[in-house]
Structure 1
């Protein structure tokens, strides 16, 4: 581990004395780490972080006092307000409503990522004029009311509709329209009864969805086992009801020299290997911490 990485790891050590934290704030990488992740920043340390120019990292720290969050939410830089919006609770009260009315769509898009939003704020963001905001409501706000879900499934923006159809189970009355829409047909096919029409669809995304459908018949499964698209065949190989002889034949035919394609195929069958977990950063005694900080000239 190089010196910068060691200082950054030290800056987030939970039992680090406040005087050492303050010294670390004069190292840019360590300061950003402390600003973002420490839960015990003192008033003095917060002011120092702001003075030294790491306000954006501080704004993303959900553990700063409410008064500091309110102050950061009023900053002229949209990046700072967006960092507050992404993780803040409604403390002080009314903070989230103010951010939902922010003039910059960048801020409102980050607010839509916030997992702490109440349903009424999500409903406001779901009607935002900026498509990226509505799209993030779909991606990050799973507990919106049914009326809001329906509106997003019929949104005027194709990306919003596509995300909504990927996340929500469409009501039966909307499913035919989603299947007729080229932008949502592939994801809507996950919710439709498998049919010969869908199995023969020219869009491989539709055929992949059908190949993974839990109610796919053996007859249609065997048709898709000969599909030209390797990811369709891979989806058939991943099915628990695919006979072992057919699965072995499919997997053998999916062999590729491209490591990225191989990883995606193995991921689809849940046979991939994840990289080993990174080692935990070292814990420093006070003596070791002081020696490291001194070596860095802080």
Structure 2
């Protein structure tokens, strides 16, 4: 591909209205970006999928295997790929951000488990994307790695099967099984702590496992893992009181966020929550994520960690949402905006305009982002970012859209707007400053897209030839 055409064709690549023949021609280019993006598109026509599945560049096929938006049945067709690396990518599961991708058909998992390349079944059982109903039957597998994986489906296992795993001949299986019951079994917790030694995994056990008095005293006396044990719900009250005045601020913070403490007891602890500190949602708050009255209490808490934890809970009632939307802690407001099903529109706008965290740029895609009226509010703003925001207004007048398409600071964003007249899109397509953005405009007629490919000397793909050459 000639350099002058690279940006323009990359813009065309992002056009959500590009027809199958255009995508097929793009897929034939020797361009790494094209071959990475096309198989990862959210929507792929059947004929393009057919071409991807037989593409000679394995990176194209691998990208499709990792596409969390792709139809699982279509992805499963890669089971017949001659390259084990593609099947391995399929076994590892697709890349998905903050959600679980749709699982493959059950017959696909059966074939992956039986695949002759040993890494394929091992990666399958190690993958967090593999459904529990696939893992549960592996409890009787001859390979201990498979029996260990079956423990992740603990709730699906019969009592006799659980007992068998708890007494398995393999220590790794026994540890995995014991980890599933240690929250209610003191002996399992004590045994695991001894078995795991200095492993990072012991932190999880000390946080959640049921503690004997002896083990709790020993861990506190040793002093090496106090932050972990400080969060354990079964830590005796006198040891909780001792850790509440520990010299380590992280230990005091963990104690201050224990579920049994009252507001006054929390306030008596010398703890701080740094504005930039990343804290996971407290487990004991998340477990009651649909309990409206409980979440109200958390939202009113003086403890920032409790309020942050409440902010991510879907059951947060409207009055608590309104309260947290005005919270002095930026992270509380951002978490509410990111995770609540119905975040306040003005909160989304305020964070987008004034927040500095990289996540605020995604808030325009959240439900309820206040698009209506943005043109009147920001169309004449001296701030280019606010003028670009005006383009999101569904009621924007054509005259303002045309003006913004000629504004040096907003013309790139405006060039992608499908409300532009086709004649104006073509003008922007001819301008090297806006050509790539205009090529991505879904209102660009398909014949214009094809002409661009012709002018860039991108070969046509014969109708009956779906084997895209390198």
Q: What is the TM-score normalised by the length of structure 1? A: 0.68
1:110 match: 123
CA contact (8 A) 1:138 1:163 kept: yes
2:268 match: 246
2:245 match: 226
Deviation at residue 198 of structure 1 after TM alignment:
1.0
CA separation of 1:230 and 1:65: change in aligned 2, threshold 3 A: closer
CA contact (8 A) 1:23 1:293 kept: no
2:312 match: none
Mapped to 1, the partners of 2:163 and 2:445 lie a distance apart of 58
Mapped to 2, the partners of 1:5 and 1:142 lie a distance apart of 50
How does 1:1-298 map onto structure 2 within 5 Å?
A: 3=7, 7=11, 10=14, 13=16, 15-25=17-27, 26=29, 27-48=31-52, 50-53=54-57, 54-61=60-67, 63-64=70-71, 66=73, 69-70=76-77, 72-85=78-91, 86=93, 89=103, 91=105, 94-112=107-125, 113=127, 115=129, 117=131, 119=133, 121-124=135-138, 127=141, 129=143, 131=145, 141=153, 143-146=155-158, 156=170, 158=172, 172=185, 174-183=188-197, 186-189=203-206, 190-193=208-211, 195=213, 197-201=215-219, 202=222, 204-205=224-225, 207-240=226-259, 241=261, 243-247=265-269, 249-251=270-272, 263-264=277-278, 269=305, 270=308, 273=331, 275=357, 276-279=359-362, 284-287=441-444, 294=452, 297=456
- The number of residue pairs the alignment matches comes to 281
Deviation at residue 22 of structure 1 after TM alignment:
2.1
Deviation at residue 117 of structure 1 after TM alignment:
3.4
Mapped to 2, the partners of 1:151 and 1:185 lie a distance apart of 23
* Structure 2, unaligned runs of 5 or more: 1-5, 95-101, 283-304, 309-328, 335-356, 366-412, 418-440, 459-470
CA contact (8 A) 2:40 2:63 kept: yes
CA separation of 1:64 and 1:170: change in aligned 2, threshold 3 A: same
CA separation of 1:165 and 1:287: change in aligned 2, threshold 3 A: farther
Mapped to 2, the partners of 1:272 and 1:166 lie a distance apart of 36
CA separation of 1:188 and 1:219: change in aligned 2, threshold 3 A: same
Mapped to 1, the partners of 2:13 and 2:212 lie a distance apart of 52
The 3-state SS of whatever aligns with 2:245 is: coil
CA contact (8 A) 1:212 1:235 kept: yes
Deviation at residue 80 of structure 1 after TM alignment:
0.7
Deviation at residue 9 of structure 1 after TM alignment:
7.3
* Structure 1, unaligned runs of 5 or more: none
CA separation of 1:208 and 1:237: change in aligned 2, threshold 3 A: same
CA separation of 1:125 and 1:101: change in aligned 2, threshold 3 A: farther
| Greater Rg by CA | 2
CA contact (8 A) 1:39 1:64 kept: no
Mapped to 2, the partners of 1:69 and 1:263 lie a distance apart of 41
Q: What is the TM-score normalised by the length of structure 2? A: 0.47
CA separation of 1:204 and 1:161: change in aligned 2, threshold 3 A: farther
CA separation of 1:32 and 1:144: change in aligned 2, threshold 3 A: farther
Deviation track 1:20-58 (CA, whole Å, cap 9, x = no partner) reads 322332343233333134443323553256325111122
Deviates more, 1:34-43 or 1:280-289: 280-289
CA contact (8 A) 2:62 2:86 kept: yes
CA contact (8 A) 1:78 1:104 kept: yes
Q: Which has the higher contact order (CA 8 A, sep 6+)?
A: 2
Mapped to 2, the partners of 1:4 and 1:165 lie a distance apart of 57
CA RMSD, Structure 1 to Structure 2 (Å): 4.6
Mapped to 1, the partners of 2:137 and 2:148 lie a distance apart of 13
